[in-house]
Amino acid sequence: MSESAGVIAPGRVAVVTGAASGIGLGLAERFAAEGMAVVMADVEEPALRAAAGRLSADGATVLAVVTDVSKPAQVEALREDAVRAFGGVHLLCNNAGVGGPHDALWLIPRGDWEWVLGVNLWGVINGLQAFMPLLLEQDVAHIVNTASIFGVFAGALGPYGISKHAVVALTETLHFQLRAAGARVGVSVLCPGAVRTNFGSSARNRPVEFGPSLAATEAAAASQQRFDRLSRSGLEPAEVAGIVVDAISKSRFYILTSNNRNDAVRRRGAEIIAGGPPAAPFP
């Protein structure tokens, strides 16, 4: 039996970050439908309260916790709230993420680097450090880190793609370490292709403390628009949630949501062996 069989079951507890919208909301809805208690964490309070209120009105057991995942103290507080409400946590989905600019790396202001890496990479690290001791105590447990298909092959999406490569590498490292420790904690990295969410407007959550963003060059704006168009034509979050639930129950490590980038994934390995350079990806 896989170490994560039994994680998705009535009475188990899931924590989902970025749960007010898109993929995170799809995951929260699905876990609730499976009879799990769901802790919904998000930085966008009105959307979080509205989403948690809807699930609760449908009979789900949910707790909404306003959390900025880039802030370690807030992620620690999230764990404390989850334990106080439900006694433990069996499933952690480090899913919150933001897009950021697609401009030339040397032009991107430090504030944008800090915002994107702070949420997309430090958010996952903070989740790991806050929750791992608790997950290790459970009879079964699983972590899903949301990266992107742009974390798997060579991309040109600015700090975003870089942060997602880091999340893939982090999750691979975690897998080796958990297996070496004989831990009963499964781990997966979700690498979605296009999904229909509010991701195109992630700048709505960019804190003012990071200063003004760069006025995008024409090329960066075109890349951003192609990326947003792609996302709008993608899967529904509920479909992604179904793929994730199936993958957890089978202890699948890499979770892809579509096969239309398989050639790009294969090509990366071939390019590295051949000495490259990488072929230009889309977008």
Ligand X SMILES: NC(=O)c1ccc[n+]([C@@H]2O[C@H](COP(=O)([O-])OP(=O)(O)OC[C@H]3O[C@@H](n4cnc5c(N)ncnc54)[C@H](O)[C@@H]3O)[C@@H](O)[C@H]2O)c1
Catalytic residue positions, numbered = 160
Minimum CB–partner distance for residue 42 and ligand X (Å): 5
Minimum CB–partner distance for residue 181 and ligand X (Å): 27
Minimum CB–partner distance for residue 261 and ligand X (Å): 11
**Residue number, 60 or 191, with CB nearest to ligand X:** 191
- The DSSP code sequence of the chain is --TTTTSSSTT-EEEEESTTSHHHHHHHHHHHHTT-EEEEEES-HHHHHHHHHHHHHTT--EEEEE--TT-HHHHHHHHHHHHHHHS--SEEEE--------S-TTTS-HHHHHHHHIIIIIHHHHHHHHHHHHHHTSSSEEEEEE--GGGTS----THHHHHHHHHHHHHHHHHHHHHHTT-SEEEEEEE---B-SSGGGGGGG--GGG-PPPPPPHHHHHHHHHHHHHHHTSB-HHHHHHHHHHHHHTT-SEEES-STTHHHHHHHHHHHHHT-PPPP---
Binders of ligand X among 173-232, rule CB under 6 A? Answer: 192, 194-195, 197-199, 202, 205, 231
* Residue 255 touches ligand X, criterion: CB under 6 A: no
* Residue 21 touches ligand X, criterion: CB under 6 A: yes
Minimum CB–partner distance for residue 273 and ligand X (Å): 27
* Residue 22 touches ligand X, criterion: CB under 6 A: yes
Query: Residues touching ligand X: how many (CB under 6 A)?
Result: 32
**Residue number, 98 or 248, with CB nearest to ligand X:** 98
Binders of ligand X among 37-76, rule CB under 6 A? Answer: 42-44, 47, 67-70
**Residue number, 159 or 192, with CB nearest to ligand X:** 192
What residue ranges bind ligand X (CB under 6 A)?
17-18, 20-24, 42-44, 47, 67-70, 95-98, 119, 146, 148, 192, 194-195, 197-199, 202, 205, 231, 234
